């Protein structure tokens, strides 16, 4: 079971790195083909389905990144400006 979990982590890492680095479909698929469980490669069709599902989640990942950043920036701005405006200016 550990090998399967390790493979899932490797696949996820490859997909995210490929997306971040703009690596093409064929190269990504070849990288995924290197992931094995008990010495056995995943079927190519299964890997292609994984890529497809990952691509489907692209917009959600981008929205989350943008929302997380803007929410964090807004919160920090409010916190820091409150501190600044209420500090003792002796």
Tens-place pLDDT, residues 12-35:
999 999 998 999 999 999 999 999
The residues spanned by each domain of the chain are 1-56, 59-90
* Predicted pLDDT of residue 51: 94
* Predicted pLDDT of residue 41: 95
* Predicted pLDDT of residue 74: 73
Q: Is the pTM of this model over 0.75?
A: no
Given pLDDT bands bounded at 50, 70 and 90, which one contains residue 89?
Answer: low
Q: Would you say residue 87 has pLDDT above 70?
A: no
| Range picked from 48-52, 60-64, 83-87 for highest mean pLDDT | 48-52
Is the CA virtual torsion 8, 11, 17, 22 positive or negative?
Answer: negative
């Amino acid at each position: 079971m550990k090998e399967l979990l390790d493979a899932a982590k490797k696949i996820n890492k490859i997909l995210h790195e490929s997306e971040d680095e703009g690596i093409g479909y064929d190269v990504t698929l070849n990288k995924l083909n290197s992931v094995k469980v008990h010495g056995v490669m995943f079927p190519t069709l299964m890997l292609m389905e994984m890529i497809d599902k990952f691509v489907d989640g692209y917009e959600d990942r981008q929205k989350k990144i943008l929302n997380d950043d803007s929410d964090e920036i807004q919160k920090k701005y409010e916190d820091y400006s409150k501190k600044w405006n209420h500090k003792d200016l002796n």
